[in-house]
Structure 1
Amino acid sequence: MVSSVRLGERLAVQDFSRPVLAELRGVCKSYRHAGHLVTALQDVSLQIRQGECLGIVGESGSGKSTIGRILLCLECPDEGEVVFGGTSLAGLKGKALRQMRKNMQVVFQDPSSSLSPRLPVWRSVMEPLDNFPEIVPPFLSEARGSRRACAGQLFDMVGLSPEYLDRYPHELSGGQKQRVAIARGIALNPRLLICDEPTSSLDVTVQAEILRMLKGLGRELGISCLFISHDIASLASISHRILVMKKGRRVDLFETERIYDAERHDYTRLLVSKVK
């Protein structure tokens, strides 16, 4: 059954028969800070299915971004296992890790951090394809002979006109830069796109536009998405399921259409009450 979620737009039905793409199994992670051991994740398990958008919400320090970094192999878990496409990521190095990472791309909160100020933005968008020239996504097959034509096609997919190709990051608005970062994120047609607070620095109108665009791309390309946010309203408009984190622990996990069910955790209810 499809229901309308009051916090967001109408959601598609999640197909739970689809195979699992990425999985965390009992993952723990701690950091040493100022002489103390700080727990970032404690026994966290989750699954992301093919074509699914899984949202993760929680306050700052709840472990949301650590989950993304562990999936990207930027951090190693102290305990537990990370599996992607049926392959354990434990111990992957060198060429094997590089080949695995091409299937996972990331969009950060601050797009400027991934865009060179010295390059026109179309060249930054093309960097993933330059690093993996053997990859020819279906949506770029007709343009693959020209780097600039590929960038133009990617710009069109994220709602940017060709006039922005030769601009530099400082010449773009925050929303335009985030669209460029998303174009770069989908360039390799990855199996998983990790979005870490991608709309938190944007105004409400631009946030809604970016969320609609990401939702459309996920549906069109079949890309799985891990969407990390402190704003449960944003998650409700794009996610099939929402995982709630608090102090490094998973406290709730539910289909988005069941966000108001009586069995929701007290912390979930608190987050929802703040946006009614």
Structure 2
Amino acid sequence: MPTTYDQLRNADTTQLRAAIRGGDYAGHTAGLGRGFLQANVVIMPERFALDFMRYCQRNPRPCPLTGVSDKGDPRMTTLGRDIDIRTDVPAYNIYRDGQFSETRRDISALWSDDMVAFALGCSFTFEHALQRAGIALWHIDNNTTVPMFRSSLETVAAGPFSGRMVVSMRAIPENQVKRVRDISRRYPLAHGAPIHAGDPAEIGIRDIARPDWGDPAPVEPGHVPVFWACGVTPQVAVEQARLPLCMTHKPGHMLVTDIAEDAEVPVLPPLTNTETNREIMR
């Protein structure tokens, strides 16, 4: 029987990934996995991986690199005890020759020995801190996906990867914008501080009611649209690069890791004695 969003609100990361891997949950992950880093996912053939890593290094705000798999190994061992990148994301977007092809819930059939997986930090991570500070987030309160837009801000190219930055938007009360900026700045692995607040047209967004990804969210009186660099940016870069095959998360449907949300660099908690013995026996 499918698991609902409300049933997973207080689930730990192991329970959450188990529900996703088992096919019981395929929804968005905003508000889930409290206390832990969420990650965007990009998977591609190894021959493109070095250029993509350069792209992330040159564009750290939209592409904060948090983990890279070994070639052909679907385990993300630096991000969790038991993460299989083929099954542990609620939904995947498949790109062929730079064009969106389909969405799948499991990419095991597409995985091959030359694949490399990248994990990039996600702004869903700092949302927990905003909520703890008493700042309401409309998309979480209404069980929707945060709106995301193609901006006019160009990223720095690397090899075949280039394109304009994608941004996510949250409407924030005018008197809380500085506080939100100060809180989110503490999360460099989750895009850090906003890149813009105010008139969307200044960053090339024509209609804030029509996001390119996610769901529309109102900007109510007394609120300001605030924009953060977004980890969907690599999907635009993949379109430009026209890779023969690339797999990403479906926007809003993230990998939930075992990394503490306030970590400045990805560090797993120490193994227990039992876990250490288990690792040695493998």
Q: What band does the TM-score fall into relative to the shorter chain?
A: under 0.3
Q: TM-score, normalised by structure 2?
A: 0.22
Q: TM-score, normalised by structure 1?
A: 0.23
Structure (1/2) with the larger helix percentage: 1
